């Protein structure tokens, strides 16, 4: 039986591993259910363990690299992990080992990767490419010489033909030698035609040999590339099979099984499409921590992940802030690994249950202005949460067209325009596209601004953060322009009994007004939270900040023209906070 790839699996469970660290659990109540990893408020024990990790990283001089770290509180202490590699290595015994160490220089992966790399060098550099280039150069030279010879022969023929035609026209056919002259002219014509044929055949043997050599080299190159492709894909599949994950029930599955069944019943196999597994899947903190705990028979109690070190360019993550596990790489893995654990419910569901009633501020035959409660979707989505489109069709059964002219995030409350006819929808849409609709939002930001009354502009391009969808991120290469004007209103204290706001006295916050000049997804939320923006997340932002009683963001004012009359309309609805 092959030796287990995970170091902790080879360890005698009676040994105390170097990556199991003591933790004073007597100071805090042990959680009754395990952390829901995709949205959570860090347990106090996780905060304590995270502080120990941060101190260790600083003491070891590892903090120059910004990275996600994670802690898993277990019975008897805590485990720590980092995402991917740390300082280009997995050799950090203070942290849990990787699920599979493919960096082992003596392992199959690195040896096969070296051979594939050597094949790539031969393909791309001095091997095939230089030979093909040399043959191609000589072939093009001979073809060019032949073409010049043919052109020269054709020009000689055309000149001779013109001369012969002139001589034929001037010939007196009654002369005794007229017939002989005509035969001589015909022989000259045949000779010059033969010269063209001979020119076309010039270098024929050499050209044919070069063409055959070129075909041979190209076929060798094709076979080499095909070999490289097959070996690369085989190595990748082999690697995915080495990444095996356990759950609390003692079951194991590989990455291939978790992202799509390996057998013919898989969707990828049925459609003929190759299964796509995100790069870095299985190397995030949470899978490493849980795999190690299960392998050592440790009972997981609570888990948290946080960023430490400098922020990456365009990223919203900041040192010391806790973030949920990612969706694209971790959700398929963790959904399996959490089986058998008593996991707390999604703590953000209270946002969706906040609900409330839709308030109709104004309406006529063409449109309506309503106040969307926090927790409502603008249009139908997953999970069956209430939405304005269904509400509008119930309230006004005769309306037509798409109805919802613009959108607010589910957690955002405030004014929205609903169109009752297709014509109204089209005219209102044109106003939004032309940026003629003026909007004002009010928000509470985490922390307090030292100076009030300040105003400014944020211009940061936004693009989807595919690992953490539906999040967006600042991306100066692929992002779309997003511009927000802001005005600081003042500082205040907020009493909120959910998440980070627990405790007497509440939290210090800043009230701010936003005037978005563009309408990108999560524009205000990213501009507020990003280090390149205000670096102050909106209170209660479950995607870019921390949970609270609600998202403290409200669409407070709208200015636009009536789609039928052209009348200027202004609506205000004071924020409920």
Instruction: Tell me the DSSP string of 234-261.
Output: HHHHHHHHH-EEE-TTS-EEEHHHHHS-
Q: 162 in helix, strand or coil?
A: helix
* Torsion region of 88: left, alpha or beta (phi above 0 gives left; psi -120 to 50 gives alpha): left
Contact between 217 and 128 (Cβ < 8 Å) = yes
Q: What is the pLDDT of residue 294?
A: 96
**Structure tokens given for 37:** 């990893």
**Structure tokens given for 575:** 């924020």
**Structure tokens given for 50:** 């995270």
**Structure tokens given for 393:** 């069709």
Burial 169-180 (b: 16+ CB within 10 A, else e): eeeeeeeeeeee
Strands 507-516 and 483-494, bridge-based pairing: antiparallel
Q: 413 in helix, strand or coil?
A: strand
Q: What is the pLDDT of residue 350?
A: 60
Q: How far apart are CA 476 and CA 467, in angstroms?
A: 18
Q: What is the pLDDT of residue 354?
A: 67
* Number of neighbouring beta carbons within 10 Å of residue 231: 15
For CA atoms 517, 523, 525, 527, give the dihedral sign: negative
Q: How far apart are CA 75 and CA 296, in angstroms?
A: 12
300-308 β-sheet, strand order: 20-21, 77-82, 67-74, 300-308, 322-323
Q: What is the pLDDT of residue 2?
A: 39
Question: What CATH code would you report for 349-572?
Answer: 3.30.2350.10
Contact between 138 and 210 (Cβ < 8 Å) = yes
- In DSSP terms, which residues pair with 462 in a beta bridge? 474, 480
Give the C-alpha distances (Å, rounded to integers) separating 351 from 326, 370, 446, 497: 20, 20, 19, 14
Element (H, E) at 361: strand 359-363
Strands 462-464 and 472-474, bridge-based pairing: antiparallel
For CA atoms 23, 25, 31, 32, give the dihedral sign: positive
**Structure tokens given for 309:** 């070190």
Q: Which residues, in sequence order, are CB contacts of 43 under 8 Å at separation 6+?
A: 28, 31, 35, 73, 302, 304
- In DSSP terms, which residues pair with 343 in a beta bridge? 34
Can you give the residue ranges of every domain in the chain? 7-100+245-337, 128-222, 349-572
**Structure tokens given for 106:** 């003596």
**Residue the block writes with tokens 């005769």:** 398
List, run by run, the mean pLDDT of 10-residue segments along the chain (577 residues): 47 67 85 91 94 95 91 95 90 93 87 89 72 87 90 91 87 84 89 89 88 88 90 92 95 92 39 70 96 95 95 77 88 95 80 78 96 92 82 92 94 96 95 95 92 85 87 91 95 73 66 95 95 91 86 97 95 94
Contact between 325 and 305 (Cβ < 8 Å) = yes
Q: Which residues, in sequence order, are CB contacts of 215 under 8 Å at separation 6+?
A: none
Helices within 407-452 (DSSP H only): 422-433
The DSSP code for 436 is: -
Strands 455-459 and 462-464, bridge-based pairing: unpaired
- What angle (nearest 5°) sits at the alpha carbon of residue 427, between those of residues 421 and 433? 130
- What angle (nearest 5°) sits at the alpha carbon of residue 478, between those of residues 475 and 484? 55
Helix 108-124 and helix 204-242, axial crossing angle in degrees, nearest 10: 160
The phi, psi pair for 257, rounded to 5°, reads: -70, -35
Contact between 475 and 461 (Cβ < 8 Å) = yes
Catalytic residue numbers, as ranges: 409
Q: Which residues, in sequence order, are CB contacts of 110 under 8 Å at separation 6+?
A: 102, 103, 104
């Amino acid at each position: 039986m092959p030796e287990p790839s995970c170091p902790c699996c080879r360890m005698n469970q009676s040994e105390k591993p170097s990556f199991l660290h003591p933790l004073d659990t007597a100071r805090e109540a042990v959680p009754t259910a395990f952390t829901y990893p995709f949205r959570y408020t860090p347990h106090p024990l996780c905060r304590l363990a995270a502080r120990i990790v941060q101190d260790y990283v600083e003491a070891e001089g590892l903090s120059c690299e910004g990275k996600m770290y994670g802690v898993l509180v277990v019975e008897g202490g805590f485990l720590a992990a980092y995402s991917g590699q740390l300082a280009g290595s997995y050799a950090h015994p203070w942290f849990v080992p990787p699920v599979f160490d493919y960096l082992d220089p003596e392992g199959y992966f690195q040896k096969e990767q070296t051979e594939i790399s050597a094949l790539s060098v031969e393909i791309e550099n001095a091997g095939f490419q230089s030979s093909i280039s040399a043959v191609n150069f000589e072939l093009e030279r001979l073809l060019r010489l032949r073409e010049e010879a043919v052109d020269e022969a054709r020009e000689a023929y055309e000149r001779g033909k013109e001369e012969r035609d002139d001589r034929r026209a001037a010939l007196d056919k009654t002369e005794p030698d007229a017939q002989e002259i005509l035969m001589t002219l015909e022989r000259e014509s045949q000779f010059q035609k033969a010269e063209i044929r001979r020119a076309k055949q010039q270098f024929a043997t050499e050209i044919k040999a070069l063409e055959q050599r070129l075909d041979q080299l190209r076929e060798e190159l094709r076979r080499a590339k095909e070999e490289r492709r097959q070996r690369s894909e085989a190595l990748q599949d082999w690697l995915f099979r080495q990444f095996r994950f356990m759950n609390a029930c003692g079951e194991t599955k590989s990455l291939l099984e978790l992202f799509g069944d390996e057998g013919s019943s898989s969707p990828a196999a049925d459609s003929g499409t190759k299964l796509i597994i995100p790069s870095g899947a299985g190397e995030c903190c949470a899978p490493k921590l849980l795999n190690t705990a299960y392998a050592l028979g440790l009972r997981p109690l609570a888990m948290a992940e946080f960023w430490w070190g400098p922020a990456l360019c365009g990223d919203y993550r900041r040192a010391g802030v806790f973030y949920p596990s990612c969706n694209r790489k971790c959700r398929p893995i963790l959904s399996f690994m959490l089986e058998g654990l008593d996991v707390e419910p999604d703590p953000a569901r209270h946002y969706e249950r906040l609900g409330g009633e839709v308030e109709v501020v104004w309406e006529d035959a063409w449109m309506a202005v309503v106040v969307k409660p926090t927790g409502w979707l603008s249009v139908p989505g997953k999970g069956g949460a209430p939405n304005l489109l269904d509400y509008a069709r119930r309230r006004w059964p005769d309306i037509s067209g798409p109805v919802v002219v613009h959108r607010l995030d589910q957690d955002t409350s405030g004014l929205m325009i609903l169109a009752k006819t297709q014509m109204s929808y089209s005219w209102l849409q044109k106003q939004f596209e032309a940026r003629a609709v003026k909007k004002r939002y009010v928000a509470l930001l985490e922390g307090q601004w030292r100076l009030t009354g300040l105003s400014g502009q944020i211009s940061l391009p936004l693009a989807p953060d595919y690992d953490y969808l539906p999040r967006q991120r600042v991306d100066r290469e692929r992002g779309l322009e997003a511009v927000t004007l802001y005005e600081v209103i003042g500082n205040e204290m907020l009493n909120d009994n959910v998440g980070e706001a627990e405790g007497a006295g509440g939290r210090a916050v800043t009230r701010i007004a936003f005037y978005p000049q563009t309408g990108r997804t999560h524009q205000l939320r990213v501009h507020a939270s990003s280090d390149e923006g205000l670096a102050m997340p909106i209170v209660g932002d479950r995607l870019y900040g921390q949970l609270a009683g609600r998202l403290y963001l409200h669409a407070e004012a709208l200015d636009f023209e009536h789609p039928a009359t052209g009348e200027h309309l202004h609506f205000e609805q004071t924020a409920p906070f």
